[in-house]
């Protein structure tokens, strides 16, 4: 089984305090080993996810930061992430994990930026029928791992809804994501991939429900 090696974690820790081209280029052998470790970890996690889902592709963060429009001119990321896109129009939602220092590592996923049509469909469903979403969010396994639903919200009722609409707190949301955090020590355990895999599996009821919702109209007729 692949796991995040201490050498990989230590490289990013050192990069945090030596974030410049001279140091980075002098550490190319360490960076290449770290990169291979990350690639192997993500590839095996994708293989395991394909045993329980259908993953179209994965993506791994680049080491270089885009500093063109940022006040932070630090050149390199001192963390890394991997994400997984589900295959097909009928499978919605995406998985991701991030390894960061100071106990800020996490895994999770959801619907980060729904397009306007999808967002309106979600809001209308929540205003008409809240039973299934509350059952999913209230399940013990889901709550133990992720707590509550995250994501940005609008400040007031969206257009077409009123402040006293049923489930206005859900309707106000622009994003529908969840997150489980890990300590630095947990990241370096050899069962870290097992923990991420288990959390991703716990997302499936949420993804399955949202996928069904986003591929049907309010009458339950397929849009595919």
Does the structure show a pLDDT above 90 at 69?
no
Q: How much is the pLDDT for 96?
A: 97
Label residue 73 by pLDDT band (50, 70, 90).
Answer: confident
Among residues 116, 113, 109, the alpha carbon closest in space to that of 93 is found at 109
| pTM for the predicted model, two decimal places | 0.93
In the prediction, which pLDDT does 165 show? 85
Res. 20: pLDDT tops 80: yes
Q: Which stretches of 50-189 are DSSP H helices?
A: 116-128, 131-138, 140-146, 168-171, 184-187
The CA distance from 96 to 106, in Å, is: 9
Q: In this model, does residue 1 exceed pLDDT 80? A: no
Residue 185 region by backbone torsions, left for phi larger than 0, else alpha for psi between -120 and 50, else beta: alpha
What CATH topology corresponds to 6-214?
A: BirA Bifunctional Protein; domain 2 (3.30.930)
- For the segment 194-220, the average pLDDT, to the nearest whole number, is 96
131: left (phi over 0), alpha (psi -120 to 50) or beta: alpha
113, burial (CB in 10 Å: exposed 0-12, middle 13-18, buried 19+): exposed
Is residue 172 within 8 Å of residue 200, measured between CB atoms? Answer: no
Give domain limits for the chain: 6-214
pLDDT in the model for residue 145: 97
**Mean pLDDT, rounded, of the chain:** 95
Q: What's the pLDDT score for residue 3? A: 96
pLDDT confidence bin for 72, thresholds 50/70/90 = confident
Name the DSSP class of 183.
Answer: -
Question: Strand, coil or helix: what is 97?
Answer: strand
């Amino acid at each position: 089984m692949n796991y995040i090696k201490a050498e990989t974690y230590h490289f990013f820790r050192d990069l945090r305090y030596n974030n410049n081209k001279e140091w980075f280029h002098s550490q190319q052998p360490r960076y290449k080993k770290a990169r291979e470790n990350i690639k192997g970890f993500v590839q095996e996690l994708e293989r395991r996810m394909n045993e329980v889902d259908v993953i179209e592709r994965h993506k791994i963060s680049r080491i270089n930061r885009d500093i063109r429009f940022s006040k932070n001119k630090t050149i390199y990321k001192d963390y890394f992430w991997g994400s997984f896109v589900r295959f097909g129009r009928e499978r919605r939602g995406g998985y991701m994990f991030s390894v960061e220092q100071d106990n800020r590592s996490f895994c999770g996923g959801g619907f980060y930026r729904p397009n306007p049509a999808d967002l309106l469909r979600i809001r209308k469903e929540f205003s008409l029928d809240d039973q299934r979403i509350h059952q999913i969010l209230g399940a013990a396994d889901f709550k133990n791992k992720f707590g509550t639903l995250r994501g940005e919200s609008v400040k007031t009722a969206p257009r077409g809804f009123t402040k006293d609409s049923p489930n206005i707190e859900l309707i106000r949301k622009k994003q529908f994501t969840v997150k489980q955090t890990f300590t630095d020590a947990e990241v370096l355990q050899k069962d870290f991939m097992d923990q991420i895999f288990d959390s991703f599996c716990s997302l499936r009821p949420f993804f399955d429900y949202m996928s069904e919702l986003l591929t049907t109209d309010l009458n339950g007729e397929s849009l595919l």
